[in-house]
Amino acid sequence: MHKEILNKDNLRNKEVFFELKNVYGNELIYPSCPISNALIKLKNAKTFTKNDLNVFKALGLIIKWKAGSI
């Protein structure tokens, strides 16, 4: 079975969804789709940083935000 190699061109123009939550006065960025869930596993963390999002944008990912309830 052929496995597709993941490279910059494979990621370009892919939408990745995140959710912003306010936790004890801190705004935290959580994964909210299968791609962002896979990316957070690479970090071995529960949340992303703004710097993480900048790296994703540099790879050509389109950052989208899930609408949250306040």
Q: Are 48 and 54 in contact (CB under 8 A)?
A: no
Total domains in the chain come to 1
Does a structural domain hold residue 60?
yes
Residue 33 sits in which domain range? 10-65
Tell me which DSSP letter residue 19 carries: E
Tell me which DSSP letter residue 24 carries: T
Does a structural domain hold residue 28?
yes
Q: Which helix (H) or strand (E) holds 63?
A: strand 62-65
Q: What distance in Å separates the CA atoms of residue 23 and residue 19, rounded to the nearest whole number?
A: 12
Does a structural domain hold residue 70?
no
pTM: 0.78
Does a structural domain hold residue 31?
yes
- Give the model confidence (pLDDT) of 14-58 as tens digits: 899 999 999 999 999 999 999 999 999 999 999 999 999 999 999
